[in-house]
Amino acid sequence: MEREVVKRLEYLREQIRLHAYRYYVLDDPVIADGEYDSLFRELLSLEEAYPDLVTADSPSQRVGGQALEAFAPVEHLSPMLGLDNIFSRSEFVEFVEKVYRYLKSDEPIHLIVEPKLDGLAVELVYRHGIFVLGSTRGDGVTGEDITAQLKTVPAIPLRLFTTADTIYPEELIVRGEVFLTKQGFAALNRQREKMGEPLFANPRNAAAGSLRQLDPKITAQRPLSFYVYGIGHTVLPAVPDQETLFIRLRELGFPVNGLIRVCTDTEEVERHYQYLLTVRNDLDYEIDGMVVKVGRLDLQQRLGATARAPRWAVAWKFPATQVTTVVDAVDFQVGRTGAITPVAHLRPVELNGVIVQRATLHNRDEIARKGLLIHDTVLVQRAGDVIPEIVKVIPEMRTGQERPIRFPQNCPECGQPLVQPEGEAVVRCVNRYCPAQQLQKLIHFVGKNGLDVEGLGKKNVEQLVQSGRVQTFADFFTLDKKALSGLNGWGEKSAENVLTAIEKKKNVELAQLIRALGIRYVGEVTAGILASHFSDIDHLMAAGKEQLLQIEGIGEQTGTSVYEYFEDPDNRATVRQLFSAGLTVQSVQRDHASLNGRVFLFTGTLSTLSREEAKQMVKAQGGQVATSISRRVTDVVVGNKAGSKQKKAAELGLALVNEAEFLQLVHREAK
């Protein structure tokens, strides 16, 4: 038994060393963070069960990777330790209980929590208030001298702020995280793609790669940011706890994360964890968990540290956002505009608490750029609730069984030849009668981005089409209880509910009808622009191309698409069929159209009305609603827990309106 344990320990240590080297030194990981954490947790568990088998060179006995030879070594005056990871509430409770047991005290302990940024830990040394030395964590004892590179990061002060009340020691050592914003990361990868350079897998590796540039001028071109999280071998007078420490560091000129909270009990910590988990996708930077620290510095001193981590802090990690898996197959889906989208079928793997089995590959160029083969091992990520995507291929894991992905020459649904229009990356089926396109158009028409008919999701629409009950948009409005209740899985009650939902949609706004038709390039905002300009659908259908192009906000591409759509006799007939089936369009009220020319964007949660109600208020008064930040937006309505859109809006100088001001505005304008 012990021989098997020894072999397993040797394997784990070798794998951890290998992946730590790729992660910390090469900035080119081949496994996801969650899988690395799993290996490390297994190692710690085995070493705890068999303490006699712990070796001095085990990864559990030190931190991170090793210093690059290209940079001068820097000895840290006190070790830059890593953090032990926890992944559940029970593990968090166990951490707190261990703290109390170690201190042998029942006195309430305040905890301070901070977002765990996905960046690169650095140490900054200030002498007489001047930044003189900056280094990476390295192996925790010896780091790399990247002073010149760190001086290019705008958020890092080169000289500390001083006031009459400010006192700082002769030497101040601070520690923090250098990171890339999501926008900065995306822009950097776009630039690397244009240059034909390999893309970074995630913002952490992009930040590390940026700081390890030998030429600081290259680092200066990277949009790096910084947050401070603590101090090193320094004692600041009259600083009893972490909260005061952050206040002092902010006074000295260091940026401090605004989501740091002091918690008086474990329930408050758990609530903040759930809050961060909720808002993480709205933040302009990546976080992969939350750091929990004992607040009082004297208690931190008493608790001390193990060989690799402090006993007074722990990292409560979020569920994994990236995992590795295998591409088993690739098929090709036909969208409502004829676009052919390759979709990878993945070996099932859990990601963010969801079993992932598919990932979008976007287009043929994307497959070629990534060099993807069937049976490749890949790194997959999922942001928010969107379909996962393949970040990178891991060629080191190839076995020789991989084979090329063959893009079809003909539509996989109707068999017609595919074309790739000039200037487009997307290959298309141009057969307007392609059954797959017709199905997707029907799904869109009653879906969330169309009429939004409750109870008519994708699967239900597919069932209606397969049964022959629905072939056109108008067919939805001629359904009856007998036709629906006879379908597999449908009863009288479900049929009644759907018919009631359809009846409610027989009278719609002009903008909603335009959007539901599925005209290429016409989304919510463009549909609103067209509805504001034309009094009814007949005037829109009769509009010439030049007339459309004269409308502010309608470009050449969109104007041409709208004109060509309504020039098609079949599309005009489709609209007429809708009216014959009982659809009516609400007349556009222009009496109080005082918001004409104004474009509203909503971010955060409104407390007195729903997002949809607020949008309707704007549209009823001639205004438009946007879904993303741009210079077209005139008013940004900010609710509770507003995300990164608020920050971007402020950077663009857009008007920020709170809920009370918005209500006052729409009520005043409506008078």
User: Which positions are catalytic?
Assistant: 116
Q: How far is CA 472 from CA 338, 438, 498, in A?
A: 17, 8, 17
Please tell me the distance from the alpha carbon of residue 408 to that of residue 163, in angstroms, as a whole number: 69
Q: Taking the mean position of all CA atoms in its chain, how far away is CA 299?
A: 37
State which amino acid sits at residue 384.
G
Q: What does the alpha-carbon distance between residue 602 and residue 599 come to, in Å, rounded to a whole number?
A: 10
Rounded CA separation 463/488 (Å): 9
Which residue is listed with tokens 């949609």? Answer: 505
Q: What is the distance between the alpha carbons of residues 472 and 396, in angstroms, rounded to a whole number?
A: 50
The residue type of 121 is: A
Nearest to 350 by CA among 320, 392, 378: 320
Q: Measured between alpha carbons, how far is 427 from 409 in angstroms, rounded to an integer?
A: 10
Q: Please report, as a single letter, which amino acid is at residue 525.
A: V
Closest CA to 315 of 621, 84, 522: 84
Q: Which residues have C-beta within 8 Å of that of residue 502, sequence separation ≥ 6?
A: 453, 456, 476, 477, 479
The contacts of residue 557 (CB under 8 Å, 6+ apart) are 521
H helix runs in 585-657, sequence order: 611-620, 644-652
Tokens found for residue 127:
């002498």
Closest residue by Cα to residue 70 from 223, 215, 192, 222: 215
CA gap 193, 181 in Å, rounded = 18
Residues 6+ apart with CB under 8 A from 87: 37, 316, 317
* Burial (CB count within 10 angstroms: exposed 0-12, middle 13-18, buried 19+), residue 581: middle
